[in-house]
Amino acid sequence: MRIELNDLTKRFGAVQALAGVTLDVASGERVALVGPNGSGKSTLLRAVMGMLRCEGTVRLDGRDPFEHLTRLASHVAYVPQIAPRLGATVGEVARAVAAVRGLDLRAIRDTAHEIRLDLDALQRRPVRALSGGMKQKLLIALALAAPVSLLIMDEPTASLDGDAREAFFRLFAERAAGATLLLSSHRLDEVRRLVHRVVVLEGGRTIRDTPVDAPEVTECLEWRWAS
Amino acid sequence: MAVGVMTAVAIPTRVAALARLELGDVLRSRWLIFCGALYAALAALFIGIGLHESAVMGFTGMARVLLSLTHALVVLLPLLALTGTGLVVARARGDGTLELLFSQPITRDEYFSAVTLVRFGALFAPLLVLMPGLAVFGALAFHQAVPWGFLARAIVVSAALLWSFTGLGLAVSVRVRELDRVMMYLLVIWVLSVALLDLGLVGLMLQWQLPAPVVFTLAGLNPVETARLALLSGAEPSLGTLGPVGFFLHRTLGATWLFVAGVTWPLAVGTFGWLAARRRLRAGDLI
Write the DSSP assignment of A104-131 as a string of letters: -HHHHHHHHHHTT--HHHHTTSBGGGS-
For residue B117, pLDDT beyond 70: yes
Report CA Rg, chain A.
17
Which phi and psi (to 5°) does residue B158 adopt?
-60, -40
Instruction: Flag if B21 and A147 touch (Cβ within 8 Å).
Output: no
**Position B55 confidence tier, pLDDT thresholds 50, 70, 90:** low
**CA-CA-CA-CA torsion for A74, A75, A81, A82, nearest 10 degrees?**
10
In chain B, the percentage of residues whose pLDDT exceeds 70 is: 86
* pLDDT tens, position by position, B212-248: 777 778 788 899 989 988 888 766 667 666 777 777 8
Q: Rounded mean pLDDT of chain B?
A: 84
Between B125 and B146, residue with greater pLDDT: B125
B285 touching A (Cβ < 8 Å): yes
Residue to mutate among A42, A60, A70, with most B CBs inside 10 A, is A70
pTM, rounded to two decimals: 0.88
Three-state SS string over chain B comes to: CCCCCCCCCCHHHHHHHHHHHHHHHHHHCCHHHHHHHHHHHHHHHHHHHHCCCCCECCECHHHHHHHHHHHHHHHHHHHHHHHHHCCHHHHHHHCCHHHHHCCCCCCHHHHHHHHHHHHHHHHHHHHHHHHHHHHHHHHHHHCCCCCHHHHHHHHHHHHHHHHHHHHHHHHHHHHCCCHHHHHHHHHHHHHHHHHCCHHHHHHHHHHHCCCHHHHHHHHHHCHHHHHHHHHHCCCCCCHHHHHHHHHHHHHHHCHHHHHHHHHHHHHHHHHHHHHHHHHHHHHCCCC
- What local confidence, expressed as pLDDT, does residue A145 receive? 93
- What local confidence, expressed as pLDDT, does residue A200 receive? 92
- What local confidence, expressed as pLDDT, does residue B200 receive? 67
* pLDDT tens, position by position, A127-162: 999 999 999 999 999 999 988 999 999 999 888 888
Instruction: State the Cα–Cα distance between residues A30 and A185, nearest whole angstrom.
Output: 13
Question: From the list A50, A100, A126, which residue is nearest B9 (CB)?
Answer: A100
CA B183 to chain A, closest CA, distance in angstroms equals 20
Provide the CB-side half-sphere exposure for A141 (13 A, CA). 29
Instruction: Flag if A87 and B25 touch (Cβ within 8 Å).
Output: yes
Residue ranges of chain A whose pLDDT lies below 50: 227
Between B6 and B46, residue with greater pLDDT: B46
Between B166 and A224, residue with greater pLDDT: B166
For residue B50, pLDDT beyond 70: no
- What local confidence, expressed as pLDDT, does residue B215 receive? 76
Q: Which residues of A touch B13 (CB under 8 A)?
A: 99-100
Average pLDDT for B161-175: 97
Instruction: State the Cα–Cα distance between residues B46 and B54, nearest whole angstrom.
Output: 13
- What local confidence, expressed as pLDDT, does residue B3 receive? 44
Q: Which residues of B touch A87 (CB under 8 A)?
A: 24-25, 28-29
Query: By CA distance, what is A77's nearest residue in B?
Result: B103
Which amino acid is located at A202 in the chain? E
Instruction: State the Cα–Cα distance between residues A95 and B92, nearest whole angstrom.
Output: 19
Which phi and psi (to 5°) does residue B80 adopt?
-65, -45
Instruction: State the Cα–Cα distance between residues B172 and B89, nearest whole angstrom.
Output: 9
Instruction: State the Cα–Cα distance between residues A43 and A178, nearest whole angstrom.
Output: 25
For residue B52, pLDDT beyond 60: no
Instruction: State the Cα–Cα distance between residues A26 and B196, nearest whole angstrom.
Output: 61
Q: Which residues of B touch A84 (CB under 8 A)?
A: 95-97, 99-100
